[in-house]
A and B are shown apart, each in its own frame.
Chain A
Amino acid sequence: MIDQETIGLLMKGVNAVSWQSLVMIGVSFVLFYLAIAKDYEPLLLLPIGAGCLLANLPLSPLVADDGMLQSLYNMGVGNEMFPLLIFIGIGALTDFGPLLENPKFVLLGAAGQFGIFLTLLLALLLGFTQNEAASIGIIGAIDGPTSIYVSGILAPHMLGPITVAAYSYMSLVPIILPPVIRFLTTKEERLIRMPYSSRKISRRTRIIFPIVVIAMVGTLVPFATPLIGMLMLGNLMKESGVVERLTKASSNEIANAVTLFLGLAIGSTMVGEDFLKSSTLFILILGLLAFALDGCAGVIFAKILNWISGGKVNPIIGAAGISAFPMAARVCQRVAQEEDFENFLLMHAMGANAAGQVASVVAGGVLLALMGAGG
């Protein structure tokens, strides 16, 4: 017996297709394309694309109340746990040695966060609310987990576009930073050689460093405690060398599993009605601007340092003051070597880059404090 009602039940899925969901499925294809064909952060963009596709299929049970994607979101994105778990892995992979050898580069890391605040102001002018503006600015940190953490607290409804922007711009670091550097520096400046200074950092210093940073940052910027705490926990495990299994698990297995969960959950927030707004476009553009401004601020500050030091600092390394560890430092090394194949400033750039990593976390905490989050 096939009557109207039966057909209606069978065709429920087809009937529930909306133009928004079709566009979003198209967006997921773009993410797949970027991840697979363009190799842009595939570890994140592929699961995000999958989450987006699965969430936008008509009547998707995955995003129902107890659906898997919704459960993943509640488990680790809504309460900020996933980005924090990722941070343990980042800490376990970050070598703060080059920063400890050249502590003055901490200034470059700080300078590399100016773009965040400039973009925040711009977003306010464009009519975003304070919380939204802060979440857009944090894209400039070019640090996925920090962006997710901050926007998850301040503007959860913008989590999707902000995450996509933060991660896809991370893979644009090699494309965007070199022109920024070349635009702001002269050839003579780029030719400044920065010889490797072999100062050995003792194991004791390396172990004390993460503990001191946790205590200091945690006291000064309490909102940054979760992020810096997990980052430095990972680093402490690495440097202490006594929990190699935990270090390996955090930087490999746990980070990998959480990346998959995080990507899927973030992708599932990208549903038509929330994503297809003009504000998404603004978020993407402003995020890119925040990123470029961060790079500019870093380079300009490095120029000032160079001027003060009497020509000993190559301004290129300022661009490493943005986060995106360690890619930004590698890009700086490549730009320097294009000018002079014998110039190896990688270690200095790594120092500035590690500082940028810490500074972007602190900037995230400062933003949360400014917005009075949680209070």
Chain B
Amino acid sequence: MRRYTLNISDREFVVDVQEIDADNFEVVVGGETYQVSLSNDENLSGAVITPGLAPSATASAAAQAHKMAAPRPAAPAAAASAPAARKPAGGGKGAQTAPMPGVVIEVNVKAGDVVTRGQQVAVLDAMKMHNVIGAAQAGTVAEVYVDAGQSVDHGTPLLKFKEE
């Protein structure tokens, strides 16, 4: 198995690729397993990467996640509100962020899970101590932004709750 750690828009992704046979792979991204078959393999070295290339679903999720550091209730964000929105939100509705820098050891929930407040959602290793991260609110997990093995900084979004 190969483990790729990719940095996309400042977000780190850990991708595990298991080769089943020459053209079929099992890929694990963010706890989700995908069966991937390779239909074409071209060497594009020297080719110019153009913006026309459609970003993959994961990459756009990453870009989105990056912006989701703070919840923005109104879709068209006013320019004036931008500085305020940069502050990482601690709990409340929307994203739950890492309380301190460390490495995510375990992620215990996935999108769609219903959690109670305080339920263990992840384990963060900080200063070689395993810290249980409890859900900041009761609700449904909309999205999980981190994977086991990923290092996070203070304020890095860990997951997002569905707004109900």
Q: What is the interface of chain A, defined by CB distance below 8 A to chain B? A: 95, 98, 195-196, 198, 326, 329-330, 333, 337, 341-342, 344, 346-347, 350
**Inter-chain contact A346/B129, CB cutoff 8 Å:** yes
Measured in the bound complex, the distance between the Cα atoms of B100 and A326 in whole Å is 17
User: Which residue of chain B is the closest to A341 with respect to CB atoms?
Assistant: B134
Q: Report chain A residues within 8 Å CB of B90.
A: 195
Per-residue A-contact encoding for B3-20, CB less than 8 Å = 1, 0 else: 000000000000000000
Q: How far is the CA of A196 from the CA of B88 in the complex (A)?
A: 12
Known: A326-B127, A329-B127. A344 touches B134 (CB 8 A): no
Inside 8 A of A330's CB, which chain B residues have their CB?
Answer: 127, 129
Task: Return A325 CB to nearest CB of chain B, in Å.
Answer: 10
Task: Select one of B126, B131, B155 contacting A198, CB under 8 A.
Answer: B155
Complex contacts, A337 vs chain B, CB 8 Å:
131-132
B107 located at the interface, meaning its Cβ lies under 8 Å from any Cβ of chain A in the complex:
no
- Chain A residues within an 8 Å CB radius of B91: 342
Q: Which residues of B contact A198 (CB under 8 A)?
A: 101, 153-155
Assembly CA distance A330 to B125 (angstroms) = 12
List chain A residues, Cβ under 8 A from B118.
341
B2 CB–A CB distance under 8 Å: no
- A342 CA to B121 CA in the complex, in Å? 12
Q: Chain B residues with Cβ under 8 A from A98's Cβ?
A: 127
Residues of chain B within 8 A (CB-CB) of A341 are: 118, 132, 134
Beta-carbon nearest neighbor of A331 in chain B: B129
B115-140 interface bits toward A, Cβ cutoff 8 Å, 1 = contact, 0 = none: 00010000000111101101010000
Q: Is the CB of A347 within 8 A of B134?
A: no
New contact pairs (13) apart from A95-B127, A344-B131, CB-CB < 8 Å: A195-B99, A196-B99, A198-B153, A198-B154, A326-B128, A326-B129, A329-B129, A333-B129, A333-B131, A341-B118, A341-B132, A342-B134, A346-B126
What is the CA–CA distance of A326 and B128 in the complex, to the nearest angstrom?
A: 9
Q: Is the CB of B100 within 8 A of A196?
A: yes
Asked if B153 and A346 make an inter-chain contact with CB atoms under 8 angstroms apart, the answer reads no
Closest to B102 in A: A346
In the bound assembly, the distance between CA atoms of A196 and B155 in angstroms comes to: 10
Residues on the B chain within 8 Å of A347, using CB: 100, 126-127
Q: B100 contacts which chain A residues (CB < 8 A)?
A: 196, 344, 346-347
Pairwise interchain contact A346-B132, C-beta atoms closer than 8 A? no
**Which residues in A have their C-beta under 8 angstroms from that of B136?**
342
A198 to B154, CA, bound (A): 7
In the bound assembly, the distance between CA atoms of A346 and B132 in angstroms comes to: 12
Q: List 19 A-B contacts (CB under 8 A).
A: A98-B127, A196-B100, A198-B101, A198-B153, A198-B154, A329-B127, A330-B127, A337-B131, A337-B132, A341-B132, A342-B134, A344-B99, A344-B126, A344-B131, A346-B127, A346-B129, A346-B131, A347-B127, A350-B127
Chain B minimum-CB-distance residue to A347? B100
Most central of A95, A329, A342, A347 by chain B CB within 10 Å: A342
How far apart are the CA atoms of A198 and B102 in the complex, in Å? 12
A329 to B127, CA, bound (A): 10
